[in-house]
Amino acid sequence: MTETTRVCFVCLGNICRSPTAEAIMAHRLGFEDLGVHVEVESAGTGNWHVGHPPDERARDEAARRGVPMAGTARQFTADDFARFDIVLAMDTANMEALRGIAPDAAAADKVHLLREFDPAADGEMDVPDPYFGGSRGFTDVFDMVDRSITGLIGHIGSATAGE
């Protein structure tokens, strides 16, 4: 039987950072052999973009890099903790919001910052929200998330190898 690891990336509105992470992870998993099946999704802590596609600037940056991005925004709920093994917040505010709705300590322990897996984080653990900035912010976010995904894939691979 194949082990499955379920990962959810979470930002504020689920139209910029978390769909970028979901798209990069799904794309990279097509090239990685982790010895484990990984399912990825994304969500937001807020509900104002529910049903909307990812931000056009995020889609443009992903397309420029050859990474397909699709989907629609949804809100993360307390019930989602039962579905996911790892919940990765894009910043401290979203991490705190997620831990605040966690039904118990075990659920809260599933929440981490994505940049915990970024070797270039250098103490800055938040992926900044590019929504109100220009296209350069989306480029920077893509780079941060891509580095973090590399570390995350290594972590999942090594964690499953030790089982």
17 in active site: yes
80 in active site: no
Please report which residue ranges of 30-134 form alpha helices under DSSP H: 56-64, 92-101, 105-108
Burial 67-87 (b: 16+ CB within 10 A, else e): bebebebbbbeeebbeebbbb
Distances (CA, A) of 86 to 5, 41, 52, 60, 62: 8, 11, 24, 27, 23
Strand partners, 118: none
Q: First CA to last CA across the chain, in angstroms?
A: 14
Give burial (CB, 10 Å; 0-12/13-18/19+) of 103: exposed
Which residue is catalytic, options 8, 11, 57, 59? 11
Q: Are 3 and 36 in contact (CB under 8 A)?
A: yes
129 in active site: yes
Which residue is catalytic, options 55, 91, 129, 146? 129
Which residue is catalytic, options 17, 57, 115, 147? 17
Residues with a known catalytic role: 11, 17, 129
